[in-house]
Structure 1
Amino acid sequence: MRKIRVSFNLLFSFALLFGLFSPSHVLAEETNEANIKVQLLSVNDLHGRIDNEAEYEDQDGDGEEELTGPMNYLAAYLKQYEAQNENTLIVHSGDMIGGSPLVSALFQDEPTVEIMEEIGFDVGTVGNHEFDEGIDEMLRMVNGGEHPEGTPGYDGMDFPVVAANVQYKDSKELMLDPYFVQEIAGQKIGFIGVATTETPNMIVQTGNENLEITDETEAINQYVPELKEQGVKSIIVLAHNPGYQEGDVITGDAADIANGVDDEVDVIIAAHNHVKLNGYVDDKLIVQAYEYGEAFGAIDLEIDPATGDIVKKSAEIVIADKEEIEADENVSAILDTYEAKVAELKSEVVGEAAIDLEGGYGIRGEVGDNALGNLIADGMKEAMNADFAFMNGGGIRDDISAGDITFGDLFDVQPFGNTLIKAEFTGTQIEEILNLQISEQYGPDYSVSGLKYTWQGETQEVVNILLPDGSKMKKNETYTLVVNNYMYYDNDQMINEYGQNQEQGPNDLDATVDFVKSFDEPIKYEAEGRISQVEAPSEGNNGKDDQANKSEEKKEEAKENKEEKGKAATYVVKSGDTLWAIALSAYGNGAEWNKIFDANKDVISNPNQIFIGQKIILP
């Protein structure tokens, strides 16, 4: 599926193209023909998107969009660049696996590792997503060992993975080597890896209880002296840390690290927020090359052979335009193998729908729930044996048509690989959570299971919460609630702050698949009034006709919006995006943000709050 990739540094990108800023940075020493020329090719935030395709804005000034393809095209670019300089190393700065599509995720991301090995990566580090399934699985991916859902004989990564600040909480011992030294053309280059200290707050807790991430700058500075003692004067940091660039100014964690680390560090290869970085902080080159294998950093270094120091460094960010190169045959063969396996799995029938099952957000009206949301929430409740379950509308990405339900259908509905979390809450806290998810403009968000509630449109607050037996929920009693990890850690909600005695559960998709499989008859879920808006009575019939009319109007509007979506381009929101920036890139006029907002009211409740991973349409 194609998406339009929006540049976060549009003006700066064009300035570079037209020579307004120099892409090189020369230190005090001038270029010397005797210097050793070394090339680093860097990739970040792949997320197993080995089958990814995307469109980029015109990057080379020829008036044409760049079209990126699957990993076989990036492989061709990397091998082509490597052939131009025998002193080339291919590196990455984390999140190469995790949050992956079907073609990689169904095999524990081992297909991604296989492709990385075919390309010839030399060293990398870990990001937060390498811990998606816990410490043991991260170590298995690095060191090898078979997994029931993996590939036979998996033997780990054939290149070193380093992390100087990732340690066991109890023993304080590092999980991985802190650095790696590669000798090339007689020169020693040291690579130190670090992961963002935010990692423990962004990952599942089960399996990561003993994970501790120490300060990045302190960890780097701890090991620079060791490298110096070994005669290493050229030092590269692989940092799964974000940065932000406006013009030639870089800020954020990557910049803070550059300002804080020993000046023997020459280059910081950043990651995590999926943007373009190419600039300097404290004479240290900082590079980040977007995301998903759609681009790479081409970093040119010159090393003085007399001192071992890097005396010149520059970089360019190269879009892997598939129209400019032939796909790599070896990687294509690997992709074909797994895509064939995925095709078979995607077509596996796991159930049957008696009628169309529509999903999405809750809506205003007397009947505010939807069939698919009810189904998913019931499956979550069943999987975790909880009292209640809530499912966010933005996490329901597709509908289910009447007929056979395949694994691929359900993957399209829930593609994020979220994990279920159950915790304890008081009835008062449950009510507050429900209040927070009601938008003043658009009404409720969550689908619910285990309860019904009414809410007042004028105040956007819950009126009554009823249990399945018709009794009211007790505010002082403790209940168990299950949500997905995205919802649990959403800073705009209070779920994480309120939750007690947290329990980690299965993948949300697995819970839905298992629930669908449990039905002996075709599934006939319908909207049934689990969510109901209560308004002031109107003439004669307590407003029931008005409520019914509003509900039908909302359903018709949603149907029309879905039809329109099929005619428009889609875009996946990235870190740092705003509707203004997206409109500026898509239409050349940021003031047209309201056009995007109006077309996406089913997924965007507040134009000032859009979230990473949201799929929106560009009308």
Structure 2
Amino acid sequence: MKNFIISLFTVLLIISCKNEPQEVVKIEGKLIPINQEIESVKEIENFIEPYKQKVVAEMNTILTYAEIDLVRTDGGLESTLGNLMADLCFKRANPVFNSRTNKNIDFAMFNYGGIRAGISKGAVKMENAFNLMPFENSLVVVELTAEKIKELVTYLIKNKRAHPLSKHINLVINKTGYSLKINGKSLEDDATYFVLTSDYLQNGGDSMNFFKDPISITNIDYKFRNAIIDYFKETDTLKTNLDGRFRIEN
């Protein structure tokens, strides 16, 4: 009888310990606002302080100087800041692209909305570069057909915004339509063109769908912000102007 009781107890124990499927029946959340009512923890503050001071010092590092205020709104269909950004990215990216492909980028194009801050006249700090490009976007080169370039031009004309274009493209809207030159030459229908842009735009960001499904794409493993910082570091004084690379002629 004793053995029977022990055996029965063992069976019941095994059954009670059997893993049954678990289901979530309720999820509760609580909003904890981050405000001045939350008291800081001195130990955490002391631990973070050295890192905070290091970041502050780095952000205040002077990289270059600006002769004038650089903004995205000073030129209608182009801007001093947009021209600078497109030109500097081309200058930094083309040697990398050329070393990998033995080819050259034809021009660079980015989006007006990607310029997140201006640069004031005077000292330009590391902080300015981060404010200018706070996103982790990378530079890519897409190979586009002439038809895709025509779609790009149609987009520019329809939007009439100062999207950053490098100096290698000259687009003029006139009474009969438009005139387009790329590196001083008219568009060739049977040619392809290498365009520098960001991975965000290449995926159709800002409705730039002409960048999607290119003939080829080359990710040059170069962050947009890093290109800006590297150019600032190597340049004593930022020089740019409004040169009519995208304009309307009456």
Q: Do both proteins adopt the same fold according to a TM-score greater than 0.5, normalized to the shorter chain?
A: yes
Change (3 A) 1:230 1:447: farther
Residue 37 of structure 2 aligns with an amino acid whose one-letter code is E
Which residue pairs with 1:518 in the alignment?
234
State the aligned residue count.
Answer: 221
The answer to whether the 8 Å contact 1:361/1:444 transfers is no
Change (3 A) 1:455 1:329: farther
Q: Quick one: which of 446, 449, 452 aligns to 2:170?
A: 452
Which residue pairs with 1:375 in the alignment?
84
The answer to whether the 8 Å contact 1:393/1:446 transfers is yes
Alignment partners' CA distance in 1, 2:118 and 2:193? 30
The answer to whether the 8 Å contact 2:130/2:225 transfers is yes
Q: Quick one: which of 470, 479, 482 aligns to 2:193?
A: 479
Alignment partners' CA distance in 2, 1:357 and 1:446? 15
Change (3 A) 1:319 1:439: farther
The answer to whether the 8 Å contact 1:362/1:393 transfers is no
Residue 382 of structure 1 aligns with an amino acid whose one-letter code is K
Which residue pairs with 1:47 in the alignment?
none
Q: Deviation per CA, 1:393-425, whole angstroms, max 9, x where unpaired?
A: 111111112222111111111111211111101
Q: Deviation per CA, 1:261-304, whole angstroms, max 9, x where unpaired?
A: xxx3x1xxxxxxxxxxxxxxxxx5xxxxxxxxxxxxxxxxxxxx
The answer on 1:343 being equivalent to 2:131 is no
SS at match of 2:147: helix
Alignment partners' CA distance in 1, 2:187 and 2:47? 55
Residue 228 of structure 2 aligns with an amino acid whose one-letter code is T
Alignment partners' CA distance in 2, 1:348 and 1:493? 35
Which residue pairs with 2:40 in the alignment?
327
SS at match of 1:432: helix
Alignment partners' CA distance in 1, 2:240 and 2:204? 29
Q: Kindly indicate whether structure 1 or structure 2 has the higher relative contact order, using CA contacts under 8 Å at least 6 residues apart.
A: 2
The structural deviation recorded for 1:431 is: 2.4
The answer on 1:406 being equivalent to 2:125 is yes
Which residue pairs with 1:464 in the alignment?
179
The structural deviation recorded for 1:230 is: 8.6
Q: How does 1:186-265 map to 2 (within 5 A)?
A: 231=19, 233-234=21-22, 264=23
- What TM-score do the two structures reach when normalised by structure 2? 0.77
Change (3 A) 1:232 1:338: farther
Residue 392 of structure 1 aligns with an amino acid whose one-letter code is N
Q: Quick one: which of 313, 318, 323 aligns to 2:31?
A: 318
The structural deviation recorded for 1:361 is: 8.9
Q: Deviation per CA, 1:48-98, whole angstroms, max 9, x where unpaired?
A: xxxxxxxxxxxxxxxxxxxxxxxxxxxxxxxxxxxxxxxxxxxxxxxxxxx
The answer to whether the 8 Å contact 1:359/1:396 transfers is yes
Change (3 A) 1:399 1:438: same
**How high is the sequence identity, in percent, across the aligned residues?**
24
The structural deviation recorded for 1:354 is: 1.9
The answer to whether the 8 Å contact 1:384/1:422 transfers is no
SS at match of 1:455: strand
The structural deviation recorded for 1:534 is: 3.2
Residue 30 of structure 2 aligns with an amino acid whose one-letter code is I
SS at match of 1:340: helix
Alignment partners' CA distance in 2, 1:230 and 1:464? 78
The answer on 1:359 being equivalent to 2:147 is no
- RMSD of aligned residue pairs (Cα, Å): 2.6
Change (3 A) 1:232 1:455: farther
The answer to whether the 8 Å contact 1:357/1:526 transfers is no
Change (3 A) 1:400 1:476: same
Greater helix share, structure number: 2
Segments of structure 2 that go 5 or more residues without pairing to the other structure are 1-16, 95-104
Which residue pairs with 1:495 in the alignment?
210
Segments of structure 1 that go 5 or more residues without pairing to the other structure are 1-228, 235-263, 267-283, 285-312, 536-619
Change (3 A) 1:317 1:437: farther
Alignment partners' CA distance in 2, 1:533 and 1:516? 31
The structure whose Rg is larger is 2
Alignment partners' CA distance in 1, 2:18 and 2:244? 70
Alignment partners' CA distance in 2, 1:230 and 1:499? 57
The answer to whether the 8 Å contact 1:396/1:413 transfers is yes
Moved more, 347-356 or 448-457: 448-457
Alignment partners' CA distance in 1, 2:30 and 2:158? 41
The answer to whether the 8 Å contact 1:390/1:446 transfers is yes
Residue 524 of structure 1 aligns with an amino acid whose one-letter code is K
Q: Deviation per CA, 1:303-353, whole angstroms, max 9, x where unpaired?
A: xxxxxxxxxx34133132423321233443344332211111111122121
